[in-house]
Structure 1
Amino acid sequence: MPRARAIMFDLDGTLLDSLADIADAMNRVLAGLKLPEHPRQAYRFMVGEGMPTLVSRALEPLRDQKTEKVALAAMREEYGRSWRDQTRPYPQIPQLLTTLNRREIPLTILSNKPDDFTRQAVEELLAPHRFALVRGARPDTPRKPDPGGALALAKELNLPPAEFIYVGDSGIDMQTAKRAGMFAVGVLWGFRPAEELRQNGADALIDTPSQLLEILGE
């Protein structure tokens, strides 16, 4: 790959281990609606494409438009109360971010999590690490794997997409990176298996955060 000048991170499953809070909040919503709950590990394959998709998958096969609308509103409220009960950065992530900040490599975050939750999570759980730009799902940005958000962040930094490393834990992330013309790095500590990452175009896979420095040539 060309020498990278910036890094774009996914958030959940990449920087933050948030599965327990997402799963528990969704299960509380389902219980309130008297619908079947799911094991935490099942949520590994429901998350990644935004909250509306998560809610839709959690309701299957019992969903209808009215129930889905009620459940989505309830999930936003429930998750808003409990999103940081158990969510923490993955091991070695703080050290990685400290090193990247010290080397003055611009860092960005692009998530399908709602924009308000994304920004709050970064501010509260990833401080004091510096990110040049942070963007979650919002009306003016199509959700990943559409490359629009990634390309918009690259444009704001005035850098060519080819000079970005995109780091994520899912096939959606790998598709986003490839469609945006970025170097796709899949992480193996996140929510999805290696085979999914490979099948969706990962240029490299890493087992630990420190291995990203090797890809950077640092």
Structure 2
Amino acid sequence: MLCLFDLDGTLIDSERGILACIRYAFGKLGVPAPAELRHWIGPPLRHSFAPWLDHDAARVEAAVGHYHERFEALGWREHAAYPDIEAMVGRLAGAGHALAVVTSKPERHARPILEHLPFGHAFQRLYGPDPASPHSEKASMIAAALADFGAAPEQAVMVGDRHFDIEGAVSNRVRGIGVLWGFGSREELVRAGAHALARDPAHLAELLAA
């Protein structure tokens, strides 16, 4: 089976780094950052910055640039793998499943994170959107993974914590499994059409084995 995983909120808790970079970007523009930022984790940055910067395209691009500036220097290291994720990944790889990461992060940001993780070598491919794209592109990345691995939709599963992951799976007729330890909510995942919900990594391994 082809197991596709989101990165932020699924394999790693990256809240500290992402939020620090968002605040840095607002600070560089001299704009107060929103008090609540956790829901920014997952959606494309341009989508999130736009309403706070009066949909001014130049300022939005400047904010994204400032975010990337700090992320490339510091933010990419400010994360931690969720407990028991390494064991779950090892169990899947040991059972012969093909593993890949499908993330909303630009590949240049996601790759050093994946290579830094002690279990990163278990993932055969990494899919990230074009850095200039305002969209998540989860659906097109999942389609690319199916083609690259030669997997039929029924032979694959997409695992993630936000509705983008599940919607991308549904659009490709792939099973979408939502995880409850990330940045999304049970309601969000169910509404998006999740095939199943995993309460913890051990439960996820059981769902994937089934």
TM-based fold match above 0.5 = yes
State the percentage of identical aligned residues: 27
Superposed CA RMSD in Å reads 2.1
Query: Given the alignment of the two structures, is residue 52 of structure 1 paired with residue 46 of structure 2, yes or no?
Result: yes
What's the counterpart of residue 181 of structure 1? 173
Q: 1:31 aligns with which of 27, 31, 49?
A: 27
Residue 79 of structure 2 is aligned to residue 87 of structure 1:
yes
Equivalence for 1:172: 164
2 CA distance for matches of 1:99 and 1:52?
37
The correspondence for 2:61, drawn from 69, 75, 79, is 69
**C-alpha distance in structure 2 between counterparts of 1:128 and 1:134, whole Å:** 10
Contact map agreement 2:76 2:112 (CA 8 A) in 1: no
Asked if the contact 2:21/2:71 (under 8 Å) is kept, the reply is: yes
* 8 Å Cα contact 2:77-2:113 kept in structure 1: no
Structure (1/2) with the larger helix percentage: 2
The answer as to whether partners of 1:51 and 1:113 remain within 8 angstroms in 2 is no
Tell me, yes or no, if structure 1 residue 6 matches structure 2 residue 5: no
Runs (5+) with no aligned partner, structure 2: none
Higher alpha-carbon deviation: 106-115 or 44-53: 44-53
Q: What TM-score do the two structures reach when normalised by structure 2?
A: 0.91
1:110 to 102, 106, 124: 102
Distance verdict in 2 for CA 1:89–1:130, change over 3 Å? same
| Counterparts of 1:64 and 1:141, CA distance in 2 | 16
TM-score by length of 1: 0.88
CA contact (8 A) 2:136 2:164 kept: yes
Q: 1:145/1:201 Cα in 2 relative to 1: closer, same or farther (>3 Å)?
A: farther
Identify the residue that residue 121 of structure 1 maps to in structure 2: 113
CA contact (8 A) 2:12 2:80 kept: yes
2:7 is paired with a residue whose SS is coil
Task: State the shift of 1:143 in Å.
Answer: 4.3
Q: Which runs of 5+ in 1 are unaligned?
A: none
Secondary structure, counterpart of 1:147 in structure 2: helix
**CA distance in structure 2 between the partners assigned to 1:161 and 1:116 by the alignment:** 28
SS at match of 1:112: coil
1:97-116, Cα deviation, whole Å (9 max, x unpaired): 11112112100111111111
The Cα of 1:217 is off from its aligned counterpart by: 3.2
Deviations 1:32-66 (A, max 9, x none): 22111234xx3232232323224335xx1545222
- In the aligned structure 1, how far is the partner of 2:99 from the partner of 2:147? 14
Match of 1:211 among 200, 203, 210: 203
